[in-house]
Amino acid sequence: MKILKMIGKVLAILLGVVIVLLSLTSIHYRFKVHNIMNQLKKNGYCNLVSAGDYKLNTLKVGNENGKHKIVCCSGLYDGTMNFSWRKMTKSIEEDNQLIFIDRAGYGFSEDTKTDRTVEQIVEDYRTVLKNMGEEGPYILLAHSISGLYVSYWQNKYPDEIESVIIMDGTLYVDEERGNHSNNRSLIFYVAEKVGLESIFMKSVYGALADIDSMTNKELDMNVYMFSKTTGTHAIMSESNLIYQNAKNVIDNLKPNDIPKIYIDAINAFDENPEKKEKEWIPYEEKIGNCELVPLYGKHAIYMDRTEECAKIIKDHIDSLK
């Protein structure tokens, strides 16, 4: 009995230590996020616009009288788009106006419990643009999972779209991949709530982008704004619906003549015939008029091969009538 009591006391002490440590990490994490968000606000990165029952963060940059309006749509978890894309978009901004719109739960955008179906996400984008007083046609510039959203957008509302540019977009999601995304997002969500997500995210982010080229300040901004996004109801819903949304988009795509390019970074379709046959060719046939442009590198290709990515995008824009 004495041994059992001793074990119980030790376990209670260990539990207390764990609780204290998690409390300290959570406080430190919230403090860092608060400071980073305040700095970003001071620099003009918080501009909330109504999407209906919640507000989304926006940033309008570039040439107000430019030749084209480009709507930028981020990848999953990416609450950093407004500043992390800017080295790549700098040269594009000279002759065009860019409008960055964060989805619900991303960055400064408000959270929501409304299901993140592809239909809802695209309507959010369209409502925000309308409330900003913007009118199309737009060039849609998307990364990763947003490739599916802009594919749906141009299919549903082709008269609004001038062109589509997808950077290493998601084309194919089976149930296994959908379940993996759900499990990963749940881990991220719990970790964010106890202040540990920034530790996980540094390793995850390192696989996405070249963090060695970043200053400590840049790395902190990216990691902590990514981490903050993982702790929202909206991102959990979006992640849980990835398989359903992908199936909805691909099943209902119809070819059209809108000019499109797909910048291939990590899939390496031209070097992987089996993967190309399974994922790229069915998508290309369904969406129509889409050019595959190889630019191999990390998934965040806009950060990994900044100048080459910008040139591909500029060349495509210049080719539009």
Distance between CA atoms of 320 and 62, rounded to whole angstroms?
Answer: 19
Look at residue 23 and tell me if it is in a domain: no
Q: What is the pLDDT of residues 92-102, one digit of tens each?
A: 999 999 999 99
Look at residue 266 and tell me if it is in a domain: yes
Look at residue 3 and tell me if it is in a domain: no
Distance between CA atoms of 16 and 138, rounded to whole angstroms?
Answer: 55
Q: What is the mean pLDDT of residues 285-313?
A: 95
Look at residue 34 and tell me if it is in a domain: no
Look at residue 239 and tell me if it is in a domain: yes
Q: Are strands 96-101 and 55-62 parallel, antiparallel or unpaired?
A: antiparallel
- How far, in Å, are 53, 106, 309 from residue 184 at the CA level? 28, 17, 29
Look at residue 9 and tell me if it is in a domain: no
Model pLDDT, residue 11: 61
Structural domain count of the chain: 1
Supply angle C-alpha 292, 293, 294, rounded to 5. 115
Model pLDDT, residue 14: 63
Does pLDDT of 235 surpass 80?
yes
Q: In the predicted model, what is the mean pLDDT of the chain?
A: 88
Place 16 in a pLDDT band, splitting at 50, 70 and 90: low
Judged by average pLDDT, the poorest of 9-13, 100-104, 197-201, 218-222 is 9-13
Phi-psi label, residue 54: left if phi above 0, alpha if psi -120 to 50, beta otherwise: beta
More confident residue, 38 or 216: 38
Distance between CA atoms of 292 and 240, rounded to whole angstroms?
Answer: 29
Query: What is the per-residue burial (b if ≥16 Cβ within 10 Å, else e) of 157-176?
Result: eeebbbbbbbbbbbbbbeee
Model pLDDT, residue 207: 63
Place 32 in a pLDDT band, splitting at 50, 70 and 90: confident
Nearest to 238 by CA among 182, 277, 195, 198: 182
Does pLDDT of 198 surpass 70?
no
Judged by average pLDDT, the poorest of 52-56, 76-80, 147-151 is 76-80
Place 226 in a pLDDT band, splitting at 50, 70 and 90: confident
Distance between CA atoms of 173 and 192, rounded to whole angstroms?
Answer: 25
Judged by average pLDDT, the poorest of 128-137, 191-200, 254-263 is 191-200
Does pLDDT of 22 surpass 60?
no
Judged by average pLDDT, the poorest of 183-187, 284-288, 289-293, 312-316 is 183-187
Look at residue 33 and tell me if it is in a domain: no
- The CATH number of whichever domain residue 184 belongs to comes to 3.40.50.1820
Domain limits for position 102? 45-319
Look at residue 269 and tell me if it is in a domain: yes
**Could you tell me the pTM of the whole model?**
0.90
